[in-house]
Amino acid sequence: MSPSAASRPRVLSGIQPDFGLHLGNYLGALRNWARDQDRYENYFCIVDLHALTRHPDPERLRALTLELAAMYIACGLDPARCEIFVQSHVTAHSQLCWILETLTPMGWLERMTQFKARSEAQGAERVNTGVFTYPVLMAADILLYDADFVPVGEDQRQHIELSRDLAQRLNSQRGDIVRVPAPLISAVGARVMGLDTPEEKMSKSVAVDRPGHAVLLLDPPDVIRRKIARATTDTEPAVHKPVGAGVANLLEIYAALREVSTDGALAEFEGRRYSELKGAVADAVVDAMVPIQARYAELRADDDGLRRVLAQSAARVRLVADATLLRVQEAVGLR
């Protein structure tokens, strides 16, 4: 990273290498990271420790980690301007997590909606403890790098609040030890909904069993067009106010990709047939994905090059993370 970047506010964010990325991950996170990389000092990690909560096949986890590194760069992150690293390559994440866990009341974690959803789906006897403590590891990810901002989709707001609470708790008990981070959530595209179920957030894990739920970033153009053509709308033939959830979602995707306001998108399509709206949304998605897919293919032709980027970045960020960890360890009496 260039030396001048050090004077800018710092951002940190990450994505789990658990399933293929979808349009929500792009619009809620990756696209914003890439667009704003000259405004911030950038730390982006591939959060493989979080992905372990799904017990992936080891070979698959390794493959998805590399795939995600390539996707970060294909979506526009420049390794010369961003740290791009793998969470487990920096052991301080797990070490800080333990210290933070000792400061985290169980009640805070029991209130997390993502934990509630997964424990309801799997049953309290089967859901693993990693799913429960996941937000504490996420707080460690953020606090280790003294991030000012955490650019994420709307679904992560609650977890960032918990990171803030933990930072404040540590600071109030032990002095000014860590920076209190703030969420950075964009006005458009922060909550892309499922194409088949516009009442639910578009989600990677859901798309595994229901491909029509999400456009994946590596879907070929014909698949993208077919999925959008089949997106759930309602029984109206054309766009009229007030629009239902499915049409609102398509308008939001269109607005985010074509960089217009949602009101502007609504004005553009009002009175036009759903098929026209879907055609325009599909064009916008394909236009965005084609260059990403081409760049992704180039990057995957040199996996050793990708591994080098990750190793070099890990070597640099370890210094930052270890310094914070030492500060915390001293503050709590471990050093």
**Rule CB under 6 A: which residues touch ligand AQP?**
15-16, 18, 22, 24-25, 27-29, 152-153, 155-156, 190-192, 201-206
Q: Which is nearer to ligand AQP, 31 or 328 (CB)?
A: 31
Give the separation between CA 168 and CA 179, rounded to whole angstroms.
9
Q: Which is nearer to ligand AQP, 151 or 170 (CB)?
A: 151
Give the separation between CA 335 and CA 329, rounded to whole angstroms.
6
Strands (E) in the chain, as ranges, are: 10-15, 41-46, 82-86, 149-151, 182-184
Task: Classify the phi-psi angles of 261: left when phi > 0, otherwise alpha if psi is within -120 to 50, otherwise beta.
Answer: beta
Nearest approach, Cβ of residue 72 and ligand AQP (Å): 11
Residue 122: which H helix or E strand, with range? helix 113-122
Nearest approach, Cβ of residue 233 and ligand AQP (Å): 18
Q: Which residue is nearest to ligand AQP (CB)?
A: 28
Q: How many residues does the chain have?
A: 335
Give the separation between CA 279 and CA 283, rounded to whole angstroms.
6
Nearest approach, Cβ of residue 175 and ligand AQP (Å): 31
Nearest approach, Cβ of residue 268 and ligand AQP (Å): 22
Q: Which is nearer to ligand AQP, 173 or 205 (CB)?
A: 205
Nearest approach, Cβ of residue 113 and ligand AQP (Å): 11
Q: Which is nearer to ligand AQP, 148 or 322 (CB)?
A: 148
Q: Which is nearer to ligand AQP, 201 or 327 (CB)?
A: 201
Q: Give the angle 217-239-189 at the CA atoms, nearest 5°.
A: 35
